[in-house]
Amino acid sequence: MKRFALVMLLLVMLFPAAVEAQEMSVRFYLMPVLRVENYRGPMYLFWRMNPTGLNVPWSCKDYGKIDIMICAVNGEQADHGWLVAQADVVQLPANMDANLTAGQVNVVRDWLENHQIPGDWVSPSDTWRGVARTVTQLFLYMQRVTHILGYAPSLTPANLNRQLNELPADVLASMQQAATELGYDLTPVRMNWTVRRYLKYMSDQWGTRPIYFGFITL
């Protein structure tokens, strides 16, 4: 161990730029799901059915059967540069505790809505960490909903604006059953709530409990 530490110290002294380039960092991403037969996984990361994906440590949570994931990726600068260059990938900032600017709020809202995720709640008072947590909490709820339902419901902006009493019976029943199984409080919910309001409420039910992405806690 002493010899290894000495070697690393010499490398830092002699080749600081090279050592710095090898430093790993964790960034969060929103990216599409890759479907191969009955398997699903992150579009651009290495896994069993995607052998050409970026081979770095990662941990993802999907939006149930809706084909979007949020992923924590531990990679080098070049890895993150390659991922963010993909047109359908969103990279969250390194400083997750910074607030969103007004311009970023509009971009994030639009992106979420275009991917069947309610986005009207995002505001400049939110930090990126808060946005990531809210989205992930919704994903965790939707995992249970779509498991019960057996398919991905359509959550277009128009459908998000529908009232709960306008939903197909199987979708509404699955949403209610998922909330009950997760121990969420349905008492305040009213049938004239919009779907987007209901989903945001379900996301908030997670509270302050930690969310684990393998090697990091959000």
pLDDT digits (tens), the chain, 218 positions: 444 333 333 333 434 444 444 589 999 999 999 999 999 999 999 999 999 999 999 999 999 999 999 999 999 999 999 999 999 999 999 999 999 999 999 999 999 999 999 999 999 999 999 999 999 999 999 999 999 999 999 999 999 999 999 999 999 999 999 999 999 999 999 999 999 999 999 999 999 999 999 989 99
DSSP string, 101-151: PHHHHHHHHHHHHHTT---TT--TT-BHHHHHHHHHHHHHHHHHHHHHHSS
What is the model's pLDDT at position 22?
59
Show the CA angle centred on residue 124, arms to residues 120 and 127, nearest 5°. Answer: 100
This prediction's pTM: 0.87
| AA letter at 115 | H
pLDDT of residue 16: 45
What is the per-residue pLDDT for 197? Answer: 98
Position 154 scores a pLDDT of: 96
